[in-house]
């Protein structure tokens, strides 16, 4: 295959565990950071020797990658560049906590090759942040964005959450205004989901959460407000100024291939899906769990429909060498009449209302 691929590096460390978080991450010492860097460099070399395909996007996720500090992050990215064929215009994203403005050297990070920053704000309301177990202030997030921009970063994203404790339309509007006021190019807006085993799961009966209808209203309100601020929805939970859509995540949704390095990291490479277990020790031993073939028709339909532009019938036919199923078109037309999908006869996608019930619609379509 000649198509470009993506590269994901998982950094499984955090200063503290947020109440809602189900990602593989936890506290660790500086010594453990160094061990992890050493082992990650070995795995970067291992995977780099197994492909000469061009890498069009690199994503440092977590956990909290920024916790490693400037030196370690630059060292990791340098090794990535040494071992992989990185495109000259590759998008290279670093996830960072809002308090990173006082701990990271953004000028050095930019010189090393990072060119996109993703900051986990979640809310600009102090009460909501406290309820989520976040340990930063809105001011720290603002400072981080300001320092990154001053250093030369011109592609910055902020994450916010919807349907969280104490959130109202008014507080959500203030959070959106805060993000727009920071002058960022991209905003991710995720609906809170109570994941099994999290702190929120243990105390869910006592949480002051909006009900399902209220969550839906908050989501639709967020879509409306973000679009009004110039952030066009391009995926269920993602909004961007023109030409600032996340290339790395869009690669996932377009059923593109990628290599994931780190505990709990997943890969889709050479037509196969596989992953590392949620264990640093297993990762250090390079134990890979196979998940079978990937990129089939069902997967293509499901992933494409996460995007606002939806799925292209022509792209389907080109990929699978057969006509787009007429039975699926009939179902799409049915949901389009209900205002949950849109189609022009050449492609199909969900409306914002449709995104809210997309899982149940997908189970009918696929």
pLDDT(232) > 90: yes
The residue-averaged pLDDT of 26-54 equals 96
Residue 2 has pLDDT above 70, yes or no: no
Give φ, ψ of 115 to 5 degrees.
-135, 5
Per-residue pLDDT of 105-117, as tens digits, reads 999 999 999 999 9
Is residue 80 within 8 Å of residue 58, measured between CB atoms? yes
What per-residue confidence (pLDDT) applies to 252? 96
Cβ contact 348:341 at 8 Å? yes
What homologous superfamily is domain 5-252 in, according to CATH? Aldolase class I (3.20.20.70)
pLDDT tens profile 162-186: 999 999 999 999 999 999 999 999 9
Position 99 scores a pLDDT of: 86
pLDDT over 50 (residue 70): yes
- State residue 134's pLDDT score: 84
Q: Rounded to the nearest 10 degrees, how much is the dihedral formed by the CA atoms of 194, 200, 206, 212?
A: -20
Distance, CA of 326 to chain centre: 33
CB-CB contact of 157 with 118 (8 Å): yes
28 pLDDT above the threshold of 50: yes
Q: What is the mean pLDDT of residues 273-299?
A: 96
The counts of H helices and E strands in the chain are 15, 15
Mean pLDDT computed over every residue of the chain: 94
Query: Is 152 a residue whose pLDDT tops 50?
Result: yes
Which range, of 54-58, 200-204, 277-281, 320-324, averages the lowest pLDDT?
Answer: 200-204
Read off the pLDDT band of 1 (50, 70, 90).
Answer: very low
What pLDDT, on the 0 to 100 scale, is given for residue 18?
74
CATH class of 296-366: mainly alpha
pLDDT band at 81 (very low <50, low <70, confident <90, very high): very high
> How would you class 50 by CB atoms within 10 Å of its CB: exposed for 0-12, middle for 13-18, buried for 19 or more?
exposed
Q: Delimit the domains of the chain by residue range.
A: 5-252, 296-366
Torsion of CA 274, 276, 277, 280, to 10 degrees: 180
């Amino acid at each position: 295959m000649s198509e470009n691929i993506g590269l994901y590096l998982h950094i499984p460390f955090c200063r503290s565990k947020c109440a809602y978080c189900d990602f593989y991450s936890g506290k660790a010492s500086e010594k453990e950071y160094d061990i992890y860097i050493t082992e990650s460099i070995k795995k970067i070399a291992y995977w780099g020797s197994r492909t000469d395909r061009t890498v069009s996007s690199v994503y440092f996720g977590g956990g909290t990658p920024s916790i490693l500090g400037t030196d370690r992050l630059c060292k990791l990215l340098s090794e990535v560049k040494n071992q992989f064929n990185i495109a000259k215009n590759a998008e290279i994203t670093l996830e960072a906590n809002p308090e990173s403005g006082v701990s990271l050297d953004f000028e050095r990070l930019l010189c090393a090759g990072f060119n996109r920053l993703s900051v986990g704000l979640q809310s600009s309301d102090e009460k909501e942040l406290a309820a989520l177990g976040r340990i930063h202030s809105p001011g720290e997030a603002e400072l981080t964005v300001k320092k990154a921009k001053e250093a030369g970063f011109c592609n910055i994203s902020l994450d916010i959450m919807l349907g969280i404790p104490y959130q109202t339309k008014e507080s959500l509007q203030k959070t959106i205004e805060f993000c727009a006021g920071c002058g960022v190019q991209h905003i991710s807006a995720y609906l809170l989901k109570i994941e099994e085993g999290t702190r929120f799961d243990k105390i869910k009966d006592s949480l002051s959460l909006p009900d399902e209808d209220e969550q839906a209203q908050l989501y639709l309100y967020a879509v409306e407000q973000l679009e009004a601020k110039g952030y066009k929805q391009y995926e269920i939970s993602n909004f961007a100024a023109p030409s600032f859509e996340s290339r790395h995540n869009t690669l996932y949704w377009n059923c593109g291939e990628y290599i994931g390095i780190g505990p709990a990291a997943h890969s889709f490479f050479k037509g196969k899906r596989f992953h590392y277990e949620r264990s640093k020790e297993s990762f250090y031993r390079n134990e890979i769990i196979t998940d079978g073939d990937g990129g089939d028709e069902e997967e293509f339909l499901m992933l494409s429909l996460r995007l606002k532009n939806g799925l292209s019938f022509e792209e389907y036919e080109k990929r699978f060498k057969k006509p787009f199923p007429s039975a699926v078109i009939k179902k799409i037309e049915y949901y389009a009449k209900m205002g949950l999908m849109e189609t022009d006869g050449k492609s199909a996608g969900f409306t914002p209302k449709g995104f809210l019930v997309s899982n149940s619609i997908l189970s009918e379509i696929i």
